[in-house]
Amino acid sequence: MGLVRRWMWLAGAVTTILAAIFVALTLSGVQDATRAAGGPGELRAYAERMRSAAIAGDDERLTTLGERRRDHITALPPGIT
């Protein structure tokens, strides 16, 4: 019985360590994605600029904003988006 308890303790410890590593990697991926997006403030400002350009019917401004956003996204390191 003592051997079984020892193996169960070891299995529990390994599972806990693996879960902690998984959570750490997941959170770092979320942080990278948030940093890449520029945070909610930047996205909100971008949406507002797009909205005002659409209301004004300024197609050139819409195109410029879309191209800037695309360039920003393509300049990010691989694996973030």
pLDDT for 25-44, tens place per residue? 777 766 666 666 666 777 78
Between helix 39-56 and helix 59-74 the angle, nearest 10°, is: 160
| pLDDT tops 90 at residue 15 | yes
Q: What percentage of the chain exceeds 90 in pLDDT?
A: 11
Mean pLDDT of the chain: 81
Mean pLDDT, to the nearest integer, of 41-65? Answer: 87
Task: Let me know if 2 is exposed, middle or buried by CB neighbors in 10 A (0-12, 13-18, 19+).
Answer: exposed
Give the pLDDT of residue 31.
Answer: 67
Contact present, 76 and 36 (Cβ < 8 Å): yes
Distance (Å, rounded) from C-alpha 40 to C-alpha 33? 12
